[in-house]
Structure 1
Amino acid sequence: MNAMSLNDRLPASNGQEPNLLREQFPYDRPPLIAFDGVEVPMDRPTDLFITDTTFRDGQQARTPYTVGQITALFDLLHRLSGPRGVIRQTEFFLYSDKDRQAVRACQERGYAFPEITAWIRAVAKDFQLVKEMGIRETGILTSCSDYHIHLKLGMNRAQAMEQYLSVVRAALAEGIRPRCHLEDVTRADVHGFVIPFVQQLVRLSEESGIPVKVRLCDTMGYGVSYPGAALPRSVPRLVHALRTETGIASAQLEWHGHNDFYKVLTNASTAWLYGCSGVNGTLLGFGERTGNAPIEGLLFEYIGLTGDTSVDTRVVTEIADYFERELGYAIPPMTPFVGKSFNVTAAGIHADGIVKNEEIYNIFDTDKLLKRPLGILVTDKAGTAGVAHWINRYLGLSGEARIDKRIPGVQALYEWVVGQYEDGRTTSLANEELEAAARRLMPEVFLSLRDEKFEPS
C-alpha cells in the first residue's frame, strides 16, 4: 500500500497537526469519561487464555532479574499454566547478552507452555535478533495514538503505518508470527488510524496464511468498562469495533492494560467478555508505573469465567514466597491472594463468625486452593473468639479438640491482650508473644500436647 492510498484512507493527522482528543484528555484536569450511549453486545470467545510479560514489561519496574531467577520463575509459570496451557505465552527482551542467555536457558526446558516469544521495536535490525534466536512469534511496537506518532516519532499516520507494515511483511516472509502492540490505543483515533491499520494486518494475514496478532495496549490505563462510554476509552467498544469492522479473529486479539486508574483487572476481564481471547499480565502485577494486570488475579478471574479447575492454584503461593525469599520483595500485606493479610481478620465480630464457620468470612477455601489457612490478627479488637481461633490454628486443633472461646483460659489470655493496648501499643501481637502468654495463662492446654505441634502456620 503506497503513501498516497494511505493518505486517502487516513483522513486526519497526516499533516503536521496531531489530533490529541482534548475533549477527553485536557491534561490540566483528570481525563474525562465521555458517554455517547452506544452499547455493544458481549461476545465472549470459547477459548480464553492468559499471556505473560513478567520478563519484558515486568522488568521495567524493578531491579532486573538474573538468568537464574528468570529460569526459576519460568519454571513456576510453567507449573501455573497447567496441562491446558492457561498461561499460553511469555515474552522476552533480546537486546543484551543476559537477555539472550535467559531465553536460551528457558528454551532448553522444552516446555510447550508458556511459549517463548520476543518483543522488538518496528525496525529491521531488531527483527534480526528474533531470527537468530529461533523464536516463532514476536511482539512489534506499533504506537497508534497521535501522541506517539506525531509527538514521539515525529511522523504522520501514513508514514508510521508504512513503517509498521514493512516490519510485519518482513516477519511474515520469514514465517514468523508478528504480534502488533497498539501502544496507547485508548488515546488513539480508532476510526482514523486503528481500524485502517488492523484492516491491513488482516489482509496480510490472509495473504500469508500466518495469523497476525494484535495486542491492544492500554498504556496509560485510560480504559473503562462502563456501558455507553465513548471511544477510544471504552474497552467493550474497542474490542467490538476491531472484531466487527476488521474481521480479525478473537484468537488473534489480546489485551494489555495498566493500573493508573485502578481499573487494570476489570478492564482485562471486560476485554475477555467482549471478544479478546488473550489477556496479558505479569507476576504480582509488576510493570511500568502502576503495573500490569497481576497474573494471579487473572487466573482466578479465568477460573470464575470458565470453571476450569485444571490449574494448581497453590503455585501462586509458591511464587509469592519466591519473590519474598529470593528476590527480597516485601509484598504489601493487603494484596489479594498473596499478601500476608489477604485472608487474615482483626475484627472480633468476624472472628466469632469464623469460629462457627470460616466460610462466613473467607472468600473461598484458601487453605485448599492457596495453601493459606484463614488467619486472625490478634489485637484488642479480636475478642475471645479471635483468641480462641488463634490458639486452634496455632496448635493445629480441629474437630472436638478445638478450644472454645468460653473457657477461662481464653478469657484470661484475651484480658492480657487488652492490657497490652492499654499501655499504648498499636501493633498486632506476634505469635511468639501470644504463645509465651498462653503457656503461662493456660498451661493445661499446652501440657496436653506435644511441642512439635507448636509451629505457626
Structure 2
Amino acid sequence: MDNRKVYMNYHNNLLQLEEHMYPLVDVDTPNVFRNLFPYDEVPKIAFNDRIVPHSMPDEIWITDTTFRDGQQSRAPYTTEQIVTIYNYLHRLGGPEGKIRQSEFFLYSKKDRDAVYQCLEKGYQFPEVTSWIRASKKDFELVKEIGLKETGILVSCSDYHIFYKLKMTRREALRHYLSIVRDCLEIGISPRCHLEDITRSDIYGFVIPFCLELMNLMGEYRIPIKIRVCDTMGYGVNYPGAVIPRSIPGIIYGLMVHAGVPSELIEFHGHNDFYKAVSNATTAWLYGACGVNCSLFGIGERTGNTPLEAMVFEYAQLRGSLDGMDTTVITELAEYYEKEIGYHIPEHTPFVGKNFNVTRAGIHADGLLKNEEIYNIFDTGKFLNRPAVVSVSNTSGIAGIAHWINTYYKLPDERKVGKDSELVAAVKMWVDEQYDDGRVTVMTDEEMVQKITEICREKEIIL
C-alpha cells in the first residue's frame, strides 16, 4: 500500500505525490561516471527520455560574480574600479533590483576595502555578499566584516570529494554542515556553492545533502541558498537527457526531492561547450529564480554566463525589462575598453565593436530602406548604438549613405540617399582606394576627413 502524502503544488495547481526520502549513499570508491566522461574521449550526452515539467517561477532575477569568479581569469580590479562597476550594476538592475546580488572576495585588503565602500553606498540592490571556502579560517573573515550572507564552496562531485579533498562522502557532508551551522549560529545566511554538480551523484549525495540543509533551515529559520554550479560546462538543456548532465533534471530534483524552494535556487554556468546562456535560461524555465553571471562572460577558463546576455534573455522571457536600464551595458563596455584596458572581442553580442555593423552592400541597402530588415532590435534605443555600416569595396552606394546618416546622426529631413552628390563623390573615392589595392575597411577617421573635404569643395552642409 502506498502511504505517501498527496499534497497540492500551488505553483502549478496540481496534486503531487510526496517522493521517497533519499539517504546519503556512502561509497568506498568514487563514482566518476566514466561512461559519460571518458577522459580520453569527448564527453557523452545520454538520454533516458524522462521529461520533467517547466516550472517558471513567478519572479526571476540575476546575480553577479564579476568581482569573484570574474577576477579569477584576469588581472585583479582596483578598489576604485570595483566600486565604479558596482555603481553601474546598480543602475543597470533598475529600481526593482533585477540584479539582486554581487559577490566579493574577502582575502585581500583591496577587496575588503571595496566591500566597505560598496556597503557605504547604501544600495538595496545589488546586495553585497561574499564567497569563502568551507574552512574555519575563511569563516572568520565573514564574521569580521559582518555581511548578512556568504557563499560557501561545497564541492559535490566524487572528483572533488575523493581526489581533491581526500574525504569520503560522509566526511565531506559533515564538514560542510559544520561550516553552514557556524554561519547560522551567528545569523549569517549561507549560500552553498555545489561545485561540479554536473559530474556529481545527484541522488546519492546532492539530494541527501540538500535535505540536510533544508532541515537546518527549518531549525534556524534562516534562508539557505543552493547554487547549482556547472563548473566544467557539462550541463545540457535537452529534454530527456540523463543526470548529472541534465539541467532540467537537476533543478527538478532539488525542488521536488530535496524540497528547495525556487527563490533559494541559483544557477552558475561556465561556457566550455558554448552552453552557458542556454543552460542559465533553462534553469529559469525549470524553476530556479536566480542565474549567476559575470560582466561580458569574463571568468575561469572559457568564462561564465555573460550578465548582459541574461538581461536580454529576461526581457524575451518576460516581455519586459522591468526597469533595467540596458543603455548602461554600453557604458560598461566603454569603461572596460577605455579605463580598464580590457579588449572586448569585436563580434561579441550587444557589446562588441561590430555586433550591429554590416559590411555587405546588399545588407546596407536593406538597412537604408528599413533598419528592421538587418538589425536585431532598436539598438539605438536599448544600447545607444544605432546600426551602422562599415564602408568597404562591398558596401555600395547604399552603405555609404547609411554610414553618413548614422555617423552624423542626421534627422529624417536631412538624411542623404543614393542619389546624393556627396554620396556619389565619396563612393568614387572609396572605389579608387580599392582599385589601388587596399584590402582593409575604411576607418571612421578617414571617412570624416574625406567627407569634410568634399563638403568644403562642393559647399555641402550636413
What TM-score results when the alignment is normalised by the length of structure 1? 0.94
Cα pair 1:12 1:19 within 8 Å, conserved: no
The aligned counterpart of 1:4 is: none
Q: Is 1:11 aligned to residue 11 of structure 2?
A: no
Q: Is 1:198 aligned to residue 199 of structure 2?
A: no
Q: Is 1:351 aligned to residue 381 of structure 2?
A: no
Cα pair 1:313 1:370 within 8 Å, conserved: yes
Counterpart selection for 1:426 from 429, 435, 439: 439
The aligned counterpart of 1:292 is: 304
Counterparts in 2 of 1:352-431, with a 5 A limit? 352-431=365-444
Distance in 1 (CA, whole Å) between partners of 2:459 and 2:165 is 70
- CA-CA distance at 1:350 after TM superposition: 0.8
Distance in 2 (CA, whole Å) between partners of 1:218 and 1:84 is 28
Q: Is 1:315 aligned to residue 346 of structure 2?
A: no
Q: Is 1:281 aligned to residue 315 of structure 2?
A: no
Cα pair 1:236 1:271 within 8 Å, conserved: yes
Cα pair 1:285 1:292 within 8 Å, conserved: yes
Counterparts in 2 of 1:146-157, with a 5 A limit? 146-157=158-169
Distance in 2 (CA, whole Å) between partners of 1:209 and 1:432 is 62
Distance in 1 (CA, whole Å) between partners of 2:439 and 2:202 is 53
Q: Is 1:228 aligned to residue 250 of structure 2?
A: no
Cα pair 1:439 1:446 within 8 Å, conserved: no
Counterparts in 2 of 1:65-84, with a 5 A limit? 65-84=77-96
User: In structure 1, what residue type is equivalent to 2:345?
Assistant: P
The aligned counterpart of 1:258 is: 270
Instruction: Name the SS of the counterpart of 2:72 in structure 1.
Output: helix
Instruction: Name the SS of the counterpart of 1:181 in structure 2.
Output: strand
The aligned counterpart of 2:137 is: 125
- CA-CA distance at 1:414 after TM superposition: 1.9
User: In structure 2, what residue type is equivalent to 1:154?
Assistant: K
Counterpart selection for 1:219 from 231, 242, 251: 231
Distance in 2 (CA, whole Å) between partners of 1:418 and 1:171 is 69
Q: Is 1:173 aligned to residue 173 of structure 2?
A: no
User: In structure 2, what residue type is equivalent to 1:238?
Assistant: I
Distance in 2 (CA, whole Å) between partners of 1:437 and 1:325 is 27
Unaligned runs of 5+ in 2: 1-21
Q: Is 1:326 aligned to residue 339 of structure 2?
A: yes
Across the aligned residues of Structure 1 and Structure 2, the Cα RMSD in angstroms comes to: 1.5
Task: Say how many residue pairs are matched.
Answer: 440
Distance in 1 (CA, whole Å) between partners of 2:87 and 2:451 is 42
- CA-CA distance at 1:12 after TM superposition: 4.7
Instruction: Name the SS of the counterpart of 1:89 in structure 2.
Output: strand
Cα pair 2:26 2:170 within 8 Å, conserved: no
- Alpha carbons of structure 1 residues 9 and 35: separation in structure 2 relative to 1, 3 Å: same
- CA-CA distance at 1:440 after TM superposition: 4.5
Q: Is 1:163 aligned to residue 185 of structure 2?
A: no
Distance in 2 (CA, whole Å) between partners of 1:445 and 1:285 is 48
Counting aligned pairs with the same residue, the percent is 56
Q: Residues 264-299 of structure 1: CA distance to partner in whole angstroms, max 9, x if unpaired?
A: 111000000000000000111111111111111111
- CA-CA distance at 1:341 after TM superposition: 0.5
User: In structure 2, what residue type is equivalent to 1:330?
Assistant: H
User: In structure 2, what residue type is equivalent to 1:220?
Assistant: M
Instruction: Name the SS of the counterpart of 2:314 in structure 1.
Output: helix
Q: Which moved more, 1:168-177 or 1:305-314?
A: 305-314
Q: Residues 125-169 of structure 1: CA distance to partner in whole angstroms, max 9, x if unpaired?
A: 211111110100000000000000001110110000000011111
User: In structure 1, what residue type is equivalent to 2:362?
Assistant: I
- Alpha carbons of structure 1 residues 12 and 110: separation in structure 2 relative to 1, 3 Å: same
What TM-score results when the alignment is normalised by the length of structure 2? 0.93
- CA-CA distance at 1:187 after TM superposition: 0.6
The aligned counterpart of 1:5 is: none
User: In structure 1, what residue type is equivalent to 2:23?
Assistant: R
Cα pair 1:375 1:390 within 8 Å, conserved: yes
- CA-CA distance at 1:102 after TM superposition: 1.2
